[in-house]
Structure 1
Amino acid sequence: MQTTEVINPTEDPTPTTLSYPSGLNLFLIISSLSLSVFLCALDETIISNAIPQITNDFNSITDIVAPIATYCCKPLHIGWYGSAYFTTFAAFQLIYGKLFCFFFIKLVFLISVLIFEIGSLLCGTAVNSGMFIAGRAVAGLGSAGINAGFIIILAASLPLERRPIFVSSYSGVYGLAAVVAPLLGGLFTDKATWRWCFWVNLPVGGVAVLLMVFFFHPVEEEKEKDRTWKEITGEMDLLETLVFVPGVVGLLLALQWGGTVYRWVDFRVLVPLVLGSVALLGFVGIQGWKQDKGTVPPRIFKQRSVACSSVYVFCAAGGLNVFQYYLPLWFQAIQGRNILQSGFCILPTTLGTVLLSLVAGVGVAKTGYYTPFMIVGAAFLLTGAALSTQWKVDSPVVQWIGVQIVISIGAGLGVQQAHTAAQTVLKTDVPTGTVIPGLDVNKILDGGATSLRSLLSEDLLPMAMEAYNTAFTRGFLVAVSLAGRALLVSLGMEWRSVKKSQSESISVD
């Protein structure tokens, strides 16, 4: 039997009774969301250890896209194994925010999971690179909806004052996946087949779907979303999609190619960079023209906390991503660790971020204020990023563990509070406000960064390692810059309490 928790607002001059799921029912809804997000997080990094075997398999098969790849993007074939996923993920985040506004949130979420599962099936059964890349793109499309739906369904299932704890579980799930994914990917590849990296999504995703179907029953949508198809299609406006998606794709192509495959001044970098930038500026112009009917109504960014939290999470999460990507490479390339060892070496960052996210969630729930956690988090992240630039080839264990702890404190305390801020200051715009901070395009190509030790003689190796280490620590300056900006914008956040803000009217039976 489904149980509900009834909340009677006292501060609203026109009181309404809000009904939320509780007990086992709430637990199963959260479990469905967590399983879905865990699969998405797993999918982002699990193939890193499997890519060599994937390319070996496809090189032994007649690849129908080989002629095209040879002509235009052969150097990028492996890179697209990851980039195809992140391209569709980034491009469709805002569009899903609109879909959740106009359609039943349960239906949109379930379709997103189905799309993700289809992408996983395509990857697991791929017979060539083209099919595999297409599967990754489809999975990214589904993942965009799952990640957007996580926060939105939480908003429909919990009163505002209880959300920070559960919103922090989002970071916890991603952190757990960051720990498990490389180990699981290597295990599947060594002991079975890399295809299990994707087949594992099918049964787990099926469980998540069943839980969502039987235990999540929002009823507010019948009155909120009673619109005709003509009204919906008019407000969706395909023009925005046709401008935004190519803009994101063009920008990502330029960032992926520039300085790695082609020089930054090469026309193959400049053309997508310019066209992508123009398209995104056009998208911004359309929002100004359409106002409240746009995908991102400009009035949302007139709310100070939304504007600041969007910039904050872009910078803070971007700084964290620098370490999530480069730390394993630093341990492998500079300190000579193997894949398994490097996975254990980054545990202070991954586990620390998970634990501090939960601590921050409890802290916000107890105090009611998220702003101090964002400020302190950005300060710790900036400090840790700055200290990481001082690492040397022979840096002792205590040094790199200590720096990672500082980084994890910063990321754990601050990043997820941006979502809480958006939900506190916005009501009916929650679906749009919560997907804006999550837009993240700072994903980098995997590369052969660990092979230097095997290519140089012993007399040249120390000098080369010093130079290589300098290249890594200079890369950490990106995180320093981003963390500094996060600290600055956190000072612009309003001091709003989740205990004093009324959540939107939602009823769940």
Structure 2
Amino acid sequence: MPSGRPETPPSVSDLKDEGSPGAKHPGEVNDIPDATPPSTPPSPPEGNKAQKILLLVSVFLCMFLVSLDRTIISTAIPAISNEFNSLNDVGWYGSAYLLTSCAFQLLFGKIYTVFPTRPALLASVFLFEAGSAICGAAPSSVAFTVGRAICGIGAAGLFAGTIVCIVYIVPLHQRPKIQGAFGALFGIASIVGPLIGGAFTSNITWRWCFYINLPIGGVAMVVIALFLEAPPRDDAKLPLGKKILKLDLLGTSLLVPGVVCLLLALQWGGPTYPWNDGRIIAMLTLAGVLLIGYAVVQATLTSTATIPPRLVKQRSVISALWATICINSGNYIFIYFLPIWFQAIQHATPVSSGIRLLPVMLSTVLGSILGGFLNAKLGYYTPLAIFGSCLASIGAGLLTTIHVAAPASHWIGYQVVYGLGLGTCFQAPNLAVQTALPQADVPMGIALVFFGQLVGSTVFVSVGQNVFSNQLVKRLAGFPGFDVGLVTEGGATALVEALPEGVRAAAVVEYNEALRQVFLVGLIVTCLAVLGTVTLEWLSVKKPQAEKLGELEKGVDGKGAGEQGAEEKGAEEKGAEEKGAEEKGVEGKGAEGKGIEEKDGEKKGKK
């Protein structure tokens, strides 16, 4: 029944809600409220500039520690294994960290969408610090491995948490510069990590490679606890039990063991056990069953899914995931096998081979910084993503041409071309996720991108290792004195040195050809990254949040911005028509009432 006064016209946000997939339309019952994203929080508030700088520094420190932790251990491993007499456990020092960081990455993405950002980020820092303390004080190899596993869990939370923190601190149009600095941070950590680890191991003790994390992480925790302010969530008042139920416990119970089985099979297959070994086959089979079960859970239980279907239906998310898997897979292949080329082909020492890798490291840092500033200037990340992936592909192609007598100008120049391309496009997937998704879905999107980075690089390093081993066996089988066992058990130079001196020169040529086949794998996956970058949507990072509502909705239901705008315009016109009809009805009713009163007055006068 009309109230007698015109209704307030719907706001733009109301129209947005009506056009969203989760809105209830006449005759439609929405019984899965959690299948739609929560409302988009507002843009970062204008707060105290000093507080923001402190927060940014703390977030950068957290990410630097995580990046450093992945490389600082490389030069400390000999001293650690000597102290614990644990040469057979060396592989687990890296694998334990990698397994847990991969397995828990998506879970932390879900945690950041359900729980407040500050306690979730603090818990991640605490886990990383606790793992570092255990590693530093470890009395045995087993305790050290447990500490590395805990560090990996904390790192999984920090990967996603630091980017989520930046989303709340930095406006979208300023994030390309910050993302560029993040990429540079990874490169710098890769350069200084082994140097710091070697300095601690030689001059103090290897334990300080992990103790160094404690004071820095402690300061970061204090700053985050005092100054990080994140917008409240729609479900902030939900009881703890209901929040835990939203964490997709069933999916996580399938994903974690599935990822662990897959990574263990890839780590052990070839070097440790033959690929036809029953243990490898069993782990691969179990991984396949568990991961298929996880996919079924995500598709059916959409209200609590870790990866909601709406996320994988968004074009930019799929393109970003594809690009980041390919970019990082190619990068790890070259970073892993170029030092082997320097040592086996050019007879460089391990330290010298690390120094010869500086061109790609430094050019990646430079490309990342330049890419951040250019993305901010252009307002679009897609052009540089395409340019960077194409340039990296050219550099990767050049690296596949190196030969035994390649001069320094070649392998330095090729690394620079590859590194500049890599740095330019390295952060584009993260920016794409932040720009294309509603802010409430950004944590899950970021976690998905990091998950792709970790799993992709692990898979393709294993692929490269198996290609390398098979090529060596194939090419050196006819040489006198060749022993297949040296391929899996010998060092980078032991295989060639074990052959008679008269055939070593020819063996080095074949060794070089085997490495070129591995570099060809890196070239292929780097070229495939172009497919991801060219299909990224052209979304602006300069538009204010309010102007991006149509584009953000596209990340949810796949509609184009123009189509969404047309719907909003139609809704506005419809609302205006309804308002006019109501006002007309009110006026008509008023006129009708007035006419009746006048008629009654005339009758009364006649009487």
TM-score by length of 1: 0.89
Name which of 134, 141, 151 aligns with 2:146: 134
Q: 1:459: Cα distance to partner?
A: 3.1
The separation in 1 between residues aligned to 2:81 and 2:273, in whole angstroms, is 22
Give the aligned residue type for 2:111.
L
Q: 1:273: Cα distance to partner?
A: 1.0
Report the equivalent of 1:151: 163
The separation in 1 between residues aligned to 2:162 and 2:106, in whole angstroms, is 14
Name which of 529, 533, 539 aligns with 1:490: 533
The answer to whether residue 137 in structure 2 is matched with residue 94 in structure 1 is no
- Sort the Cα spacing of 1:43 and 1:18 in 2 relative to 1 into closer, same or farther, 3 A: closer
Name which of structure 1's ranges 409-418 and 84-93 shifts more when overlaid on structure 2. 409-418
Q: 1:474: Cα distance to partner?
A: 1.4
Name which of 492, 499, 507 aligns with 1:464: 507
Q: How large is the RMSD of aligned CA atoms in angstroms?
A: 2.3
The answer to whether residue 209 in structure 2 is matched with residue 183 in structure 1 is no
Name which of 371, 374, 386 aligns with 2:382: 371
Q: 1:258: Cα distance to partner?
A: 1.0
Name which of structure 1's ranges 340-349 and 268-277 shifts more when overlaid on structure 2. 340-349
**Could you list the per-position Cα deviations for residues 204-234 of structure 1 after superposition, in whole angstroms to 9, with x for gaps in the alignment?**
212222222233233x126552222232122
Name which of structure 1's ranges 466-475 and 84-93 shifts more when overlaid on structure 2. 466-475
8 Å CA contact retained: 2:44, 2:169: no
* Residue pairs, 1:8-47, within 5 angstroms: 19-21=45-47, 23-47=49-73
Q: 1:180: Cα distance to partner?
A: 0.4
Q: 1:264: Cα distance to partner?
A: 1.0
SS of residue paired to 1:78: helix
- Sort the Cα spacing of 1:119 and 1:17 in 2 relative to 1 into closer, same or farther, 3 A: closer
Greater RCO structure (CA 8 Å; 6+ sep)? 1
**Could you list the per-position Cα deviations for residues 111-158 of structure 1 after superposition, in whole angstroms to 9, with x for gaps in the alignment?**
111111111111112222211111110000000001111110010111
The separation in 2 between residues aligned to 1:229 and 1:16, in whole angstroms, is 25
Larger Rg belongs to: 2
- Sort the Cα spacing of 1:461 and 1:196 in 2 relative to 1 into closer, same or farther, 3 A: farther
Q: 1:469: Cα distance to partner?
A: 2.0
The answer to whether residue 227 in structure 2 is matched with residue 215 in structure 1 is yes
Q: Which runs of no fewer than 5 residues in structure 2 stay unpaired?
A: 1-11, 17-40, 466-488, 550-607
Report the equivalent of 2:543: 500
Q: 1:293: Cα distance to partner?
A: 2.2
The separation in 1 between residues aligned to 2:215 and 2:168, in whole angstroms, is 26
The answer to whether residue 241 in structure 2 is matched with residue 239 in structure 1 is no
* Residue pairs, 1:177-326, within 5 angstroms: 177-218=189-230, 220-221=231-232, 223=234, 225-326=236-337
Name which of 46, 49, 70 aligns with 2:75: 49
Q: 1:191: Cα distance to partner?
A: 2.0
SS of residue paired to 2:246: helix
8 Å CA contact retained: 2:497, 2:504: no
8 Å CA contact retained: 1:419, 1:437: yes
The separation in 2 between residues aligned to 1:474 and 1:21, in whole angstroms, is 54
The separation in 2 between residues aligned to 1:269 and 1:101, in whole angstroms, is 36
8 Å CA contact retained: 1:308, 1:490: yes
**Could you list the per-position Cα deviations for residues 397-442 of structure 1 after superposition, in whole angstroms to 9, with x for gaps in the alignment?**
1101111111112211112111111111111201101111111122
Give the aligned residue type for 1:396.
P
8 Å CA contact retained: 1:240, 1:283: yes
- Sort the Cα spacing of 1:426 and 1:325 in 2 relative to 1 into closer, same or farther, 3 A: same
SS of residue paired to 2:301: helix
Q: 1:237: Cα distance to partner?
A: 3.1
The separation in 2 between residues aligned to 1:100 and 1:20, in whole angstroms, is 23
Q: 1:454: Cα distance to partner?
A: 5.4
The separation in 2 between residues aligned to 1:449 and 1:458, in whole angstroms, is 17
The separation in 2 between residues aligned to 1:221 and 1:339, in whole angstroms, is 51
Q: 1:95: Cα distance to partner?
A: 0.3
8 Å CA contact retained: 1:178, 1:350: yes
